[in-house]
Amino acid sequence: MSPNEWIALSMIGGFLILMLIGIPVAISLAVAGFVAGLAGFGPLLFSLMPARLYGVVTNYTLLAIPLFVFMGVMLEKSRVAEDMLETIGRAMGGVNGGMGIAIILVGVLMGASTGIVGATVVTVGMLTLPTLLRRGYHPGVASATICASGTLGQIIPPSLVLILLSEILGESVGTLFAAAFVPGLAIAVIYIVYLLVLGWWKPELVPAIPKEERAAAGGMKELLRDLARSVIPPLMLVFAVLGSILGGVAAPTEAASMGALGSLVIALLARRLDFPMLKACLHSTLTITAMVYFILLCAQPFSLAFRGLGGENMVHDLFNLLPGGELGALIFLMVILFVLGFFLEWIEISYIALPMFLPVFIGYGTDMVWLGVLVAMNLQMSFLTPPFGWALFFLKGVAPPEVTTRHLYLGVLPFVGLQAMAVVLLFCFPGLATWLPDAIGW
């Protein structure tokens, strides 16, 4: 190995050490990249840095991020999720595991309208976890269902993961949205089937709502009225946003702006739009967007130094040692991403690990759309895998005292297995991701 390649390895090690001692991710990226680049090449290596930073902040596609974030935060703070959950819960409550299925369905709708895991997990957790425990749900099953439901926003479009992966892979956002639509719904169906089987096998873990309680909540007429009031408006918004993108009517950024406007209209019609709530929504949108952009900007010196120091050649040499060619390389990538998900957030994995390996798959001629959805589904597991699964942290912060960390860690393992099964299915049947983009001509 050349001296520069040793510096590249040291840069990766330095980044991990800085993270482990508590330095923020963005600062760790920038410091490791600048120090290694200066050690290997001096200031000349960073002459391209202004152009790279300018390219990030002026990227038209990335403008969709704050717009989709605003749409999701507005729907969350206007308590649309609360209304949906109550109504769908009443509709499904007569089935063993029905409340869990309702949470999954709300996760699908919230994922398709927010794409923000933390907002969905915290909102659904605060609203449902005490109720589920009071109705006899096992703490581990209840907690894991809420966490798994929240992670659906990472794969069901519009998703921040898919937007950033489109930038990394060089594919259009609309193509990745179309490719992830069926796999995302497939994961939700797998969750629902699991809860139905669990309700049949061990009904004491996921009991149904008593008939008397359901009758006291109102009859079919009241239920249909509540469905029309609380479920139809956000569902129409989701169909309008995704339909305009998949149908080629609007670009993702344009559809995101209409989604943001639509969320305002829904909050206004629900008579919940006021200045304090709007201010809180804008503040949350600014905070989340600034975090994402700051990491994107700080990742530029790291990636530039890694490439300049010959890191890509090292990765090529590593993959050449693997048996199985493209298939072996794909399996190795999936395993690496899964292991990294135990310790790193999806955004660091996306902007650090993936660009290192990407040139190998470009050389193989791998379908980037299929690869992108595979990576997104793998990254989705990182929110559930202990010890640093962020969905677990989010829920633990709002869970009642009787829900322990042990409940969370053990309860989530079956859902991690279900997600891994979905990744294997997509790996074996690429058409699950590619048929819809092909069908609509993307």
Exposure string over 222-248, b if 16+ CB within 10 A, otherwise e: ebeebbeebbebbeebbebbbebbbee
**C-alpha 236 chain-centroid distance:** 22
Task: State yes or no: pLDDT of 348 exceeds 80.
Answer: no
Highest mean pLDDT out of 57-61, 81-85, 115-119: 57-61
Task: State yes or no: pLDDT of 189 exceeds 90.
Answer: yes
Which DSSP symbol is given to 249?
S
Retrieve residue 193's tokens: 């089937």
Q: Is residue 154 a contact partner of residue 420, using CB atoms and an 8 Å limit?
A: no
Task: State yes or no: pLDDT of 243 exceeds 90.
Answer: no
pLDDT value of residue 69:
83
336 by Cβ neighbours in 10 Å (0-12 / 13-18 / 19+) ranks as middle
pLDDT value of residue 215:
65
pLDDT cut 70: percent of the chain above it:
95
> Measured on CA atoms in the order 425, 198, 213, 272, is the torsion positive or negative?
negative
Question: Distance between CA atoms of 206 and 226, rounded to whole angstroms?
Answer: 25
Over residues 5-20, the mean pLDDT reads: 84
Exposure string over 54-91, b if 16+ CB within 10 A, otherwise e: eeeeeeebbbbbbbbbbbbbbbbbbbbbbbbbbbbbbb
- Tell me the pTM: 0.85
Least confident of 106-120, 194-208, 222-236, 387-401: 106-120
Task: State yes or no: pLDDT of 427 exceeds 90.
Answer: yes
